Amino acid sequence: MPTDSGAVALVIAWVLSVYALVASIWGGLRKQEDLVRSAENAALAVWAFTLVATIDLIRALVSRDFNLEYVAQYSSSTLPLYYTVAALWGGQAGSLLFWLAILTSMAAVVVLQNRSQNRHLMPFVTATLMAVAVFFASLLVFVTPPFQRLTFTPGDGRDLNPLLQNYWMTIHPPSLYLGYVGCSVPFAFAMAALVTGRLDDLWIRTTRRWALFAWFFLSLGNLFGALWAYRVLGWGGYWAWDPVENAAFMPWLTATAYLHSVMIQEKKNMLKVWNMALVILTFLLTIFGTFLTRSGVISSVHSFTQSGLGPFFIAFLVFAAAVSISLLIWRLPSLRSDNEIDSMLSREAAFLVNNLVLVGMAFAVFWGTVFPVLSEAVRGVKITVGPPFFNRVNTPLGLLLLFLMGVGPLIAWRRASWSSLRRNFLWPALFGVLVGSLFLFAGTGNYYAVVSFSLCAFVLATILQEFWRGTRARQAMLGETWPVALARLTTKNRRRYGGYVVHLGIVMIFLAITGTSAFRVEQQVPVKVGESFEIGPYRLVFEKIETWETPHSAHMAAQLSVFEGGRRVDTLKPEKRFYKKPEQPATEVAIRSRLGTDLYVVFGSFDATSQTATILAYINPLVGFLEWGGVVLAIGTILAAWPQRAVRGAVAWEGESRVRVEAP
């Protein structure tokens, strides 16, 4: 039996990562720079060998080497090339290899970036990253080797799960993994700061961009997952509080809290312990998330099988938590902050409450997710809580968060005076109240929705007001035309205005969530060929059934003509597919999008004897804002993370207060 070069590369990567871990700790503690350098070079080599293994697995997939168990399990001879490469993260072993590849790539970037800076932190940064690498490499070498050969060569593979054969699904795992793994870098620097006692905000400034990078991909990963669920699963929604979704959402919440609370540390030198705790928590949640996705411990659809990975993840989580929390407790005396909060009406307080809400949400989601396991341990019965639990807890907290999103960026530091409050919030508050009253007046009975729209309007107004005032100030002081003033305002203060743009994206996502959860129309109708039914402003006529076949799958589509106001506006063809390998049916929804509102049609079933089809139709108001909000959020994050041109490091840091002076 041939030995795969990938398998050999993985063993070498494992050995080297163990060496890098030991050598960097040893070198760091003994202050032996050559040993630290050697460990860093080993980390680079780990990266190279992991890449060799990853490329070898991709090669095996692409060359359809079905003798390799992984290839036989997750691809087939008819699978398109695009999805064949994506099969790399379609199964367990491959996705862990992919995780390791991302982690070691990031470790390599960190090593190369810090060849001549942060030298005192680097030994422990390398050590932390390599400790995580050792864990994943161990899984790949000892527990789920991706290069397992079969004793025979099957004629064809079992194919990738059809649910994964979708555009969103191919980009969702990579972006989520980039987000997950990206959180390891701030964590590594935090650990290094704790070990070395260099507890100033150097580690925070060094990892600011990493944190944004991780947050960016976590956000996109969550959104891509939601869009995938919406387009592929065919139940009309996009978020179901499934354990796997929660697994991706929890670190996002704590990472969001962290991005806000670091600003307080930079500005006020406060919340040092809190920031450390958030970084640790976020990292642990990313590992926990990978564990949830990979172990099947929490009953989700795949509950009947449990892979053997669980105990290893638990052990690693306990180990990582024990080490990081002990370090934090050990350094607690030197993390005391010099300042305290002066007033409840201040930006510090608003940020603090925002943090508490975000962490509270993460805790509630965590609780709801592990509740079955907890209740089984305590009472001997598995008790689950469903989506209503999560909605019930998160709706009020989310609205509070939305409110704070309007308040936080405008309220003054330290202590806000009443006149400044009036100046900053009068118009936005009036606008919010106006929008809210309009909805009430129009007879909207869902008060959560009214509050949500009203708050969205409020936040939107605060953001627009900020851009307006900044632009006006530049026009007045520098005589620029407004487009120039607006552009310069934004690009000169990327972090601040990028943040506003991100907030705008979040407002849009709130609109989508509110629209779909409060005003969704759902209909389930049996129709015979030639019959029609109505939903919202539309009338749908079931014209005919179409069937066709490809080598890969068999298709059956219901052709529906869509009429609006007596005029034919569209033809929708929701499909039922039957994949030949694995023999598995799937649903292909049809969507008509207009102004962010979707008509979403699913072909439920077809009874040939009575020629009756069950059609599920939904009107999902504002759902399009989910996608657009994601785009805006992405633009804002890139803007905020984009390096400022000049090397005015320290000055750029004060950007926020400089503009305060400019604005009236």
Partner 1 sequence: MGKKARLGFAAFVLVGVVAYLMYTGVRQTAVYYITVNEFAQRRHQLVGEGVRVAGRVASGSVKRRMTPAGEEVWFEIGDFKDDGGTTPVLQVYYTGVVPDMFRNEGGSDVIVEGRYDGSVLRAQSLMTSCPSKYEPMEPASAAQAGGN
Q: Which of 107, 102, 106, 105 is nearest to 89 (CA)?
A: 102
Do residues 24 and 36 lie in contact, with contact meaning Cβ atoms separated by under 8 Å? yes
Question: Could you give the C-alpha distances from 208 to 74, 194, 203, 642, 656, in angstroms and in order?
Answer: 38, 17, 8, 11, 16
Amino acid of residue 326: S
- Nearest CA to 237 among 221, 226, 225? 226
The residue whose two tokens read 């059609």 is 615
CB of 433 to partner 1, least distance (A): 24
For CA atoms 301, 303, 308, 314, the dihedral sign is: positive
Which of helix, strand or coil describes residue 560? strand
Query: Which of 229, 402, 558, 599 is in the footprint of partner 1 by CB under 8 A?
Result: 229
Among positions 320-379, residues that touch partner 1 (CB under 8 A) are: 340-344, 349, 352-353, 356-357, 360, 363-364, 367-368, 371-372
**Which residue, 87, 69, 62, is CA-closest to 144?**
69
Tell me which of 97, 129, 134, 244 binds partner 1, using CB under 8 A: 244
The residue among 63 and 384 lying less far from partner 1, judged by its C-beta, is 384
Tell me if residue 566 falls in helix, strand or coil: coil
* Cα–Cα distance, 108 to 275 (Å, whole number): 25
We find the least distance from the C-beta atom of residue 292 to partner 1, in angstroms, to be: 9
- Binding residues for partner 1 restricted to 140-169, rule: CB under 8 A: 161, 163-164, 169
- Contact stretch for partner 1 (CB under 8 A) within 28-36, 227-235, 420-428, 538-546: 227-235
**Under 8 Å between Cβ of 203 and 561:** no
Cβ atoms within 10 A of the Cβ of 504, count?
Answer: 20
Nearer to partner 1, 335 or 353 (CB): 353
Question: Site mask, partner 1, residues 378-417, x = CB under 8 A?
Answer: ---xxxxxxxxxx-xx--xx--------------------
Scan residues 431-450 and list those touching partner 1 (CB under 8 A).
none
Which of the residues 471 through 500 are near partner 1 (CB under 8 A)?
A: none
- Contact positions with partner 1 (CB under 8 A) in 34-53: none
Site for partner 1 in 258-297 (CB under 8 A): 293-296
Under the criterion CB under 8 A, does residue 314 sit at the interface with partner 1? no
Query: Which of 48, 141, 240, 554 is in the footprint of partner 1 by CB under 8 A?
Result: 240
Residue 188 contacts residue 610 (beta carbons within 8 Å): no
Give yes or no for residue 586 binding partner 1 (CB under 8 A): yes
Sole residue written with tokens 């411990």: 297
> Which residues in 616-655 contact partner 1 (CB under 8 A)?
616
Judged by beta carbon, residue 240 or residue 545, the one nearer partner 1 is: 240
Q: Which of 123, 179, 225, 596 binds partner 1 (CB under 8 A)?
A: 225
Please identify which residue in 26, 167, 235, 427 interacts with partner 1, judged by CB under 8 A.
235
- Least Å distance, CB 163 to partner 1, is 6
The answer to whether the CB of 247 falls within 8 A of the CB of 293 is yes
CB 529 within 8 A of CB 615: no
Stretch that binds partner 1, among 327-335, 484-492, 507-515, 604-612 (CB under 8 A): 604-612
Q: Cβ closer to partner 1: 45 or 257?
A: 257
User: Which range, of 211-219, 250-258, 298-306, 560-568, touches partner 1 by CB under 8 A?
Assistant: 298-306
Cα(627)–Cα(508) distance, rounded to whole angstroms?
9
Contacts with partner 1 in 83-112 (CB under 8 A)?
89-92, 95
Of the pair 363, 563, the CB lying nearest partner 1 is at 363
Q: Which of 526, 536, 554, 573 binds partner 1 (CB under 8 A)?
A: 526
Residue reference for tokens 């080993």: 42
Q: How far is the CB of 173 from partner 1 (least distance, A)?
A: 6
Interface residue with partner 1 among 8, 44, 233, 323 (CB under 8 A) is 233
Report the half-sphere exposure of 545 (CA within 13 A, side-chain side): 19
Tell me the C-alpha distance between 148 and 602, whole Å: 40
Burial of 42 (0-12, 13-18, 19+ CB in 10 A): buried
Is residue 71 a contact point for partner 1 (CB under 8 A)? Answer: no
- Least distance (Å) between residue 279 CB and partner 1: 20
**Cα→Cα distances 152→5, 68, 84, 87, Å:** 20, 9, 21, 21
- Rank residues 372 and 409 by Cβ distance to partner 1 and give the closer one: 372
Q: Which of 63, 113, 117, 307 binds partner 1 (CB under 8 A)?
A: 307
Instruction: Show the tokens assigned to 321.
Output: 């938590």
Amino acid identity of residue 636, one-letter, is: G
DSSP state of 230: I
Which C-beta is closer to partner 1: that of 304 or that of 441? Answer: 304
By CB under 8 A, name the one of 157, 243, 436, 515 that touches partner 1: 243
Q: Which two tokens stand for residue 275?
A: 């920031």
* CA separation for the pair 587, 231 (Å, rounded): 10
Name which position in 2, 155, 304, 441 contacts partner 1 (CB under 8 A): 304
Residues from 171 through 210 that contact partner 1 (CB under 8 A): 173
